[in-house]
Structure 1
């Protein structure tokens, strides 16, 4: 069954690791829907959170191939466990002064924040799961989205401490 997978990959923080991991996906014909990379809790290691779509066999193949890369320490399928996933988006919206109260109502409803105000635009910051971001983008489209930047998902397994 084809579904969305969120994978956590712990890697050595070395130049070229991101390129080797993304290259592996490309060579195998697997699409990366989003990828976030940053320092982990352990010095010298980074955590990549990759969202991809495929069946369980494809996920197993990806995991095996990732472990063949020298800088890969650990691969975890987060989506096979209860997890928390969040994404951040910055959305620049056309906002003449007359339209601002309506836009601010949308912002408040989504517990988002206005992080910049210009003469004819607002930049809105929203954090949440991908569906929340998608819903906010849809509601702001009628006002005219001038620019949109999304981080991609970052995620952790819920409640387990080892």
Structure 2
């Protein structure tokens, strides 16, 4: 009676594990990037609706609009976003994400502007550029609302 595996049996097990790993690992990384993409799209929608609502309800002075206001109002994760003087950017390790610096959410005068830089060639930025091919401009002027 044999009490151990033969060398050939161990080689077959290692080959099978390698095949499984080569199939599963790319799927896991795709799932992670899809989750990141979905979270960013949800954050963008939250930002747009929250800032517009807050601007209307609280009658915020345009000079008070900055990245900290966006972060606080939309309750964004500081692990994914970072505030700037005029808006917010994608973050990584508490700094602007150099690889995925394609999302620009800024205040300019009386508008909230969401722009995706389609020239950044990372998979995340390319997906976001397909989702948002044009710059989104939300006017934040009180006189734009007519009853």
TM-score (norm 1): 0.20
Task: Compare the two structures and name the one with the higher helix fraction.
Answer: 2
Task: Compare the two structures and name the one with the higher strand fraction.
Answer: 1
| Bigger radius of gyration | 2
Greater RCO structure (CA 8 Å; 6+ sep): 1
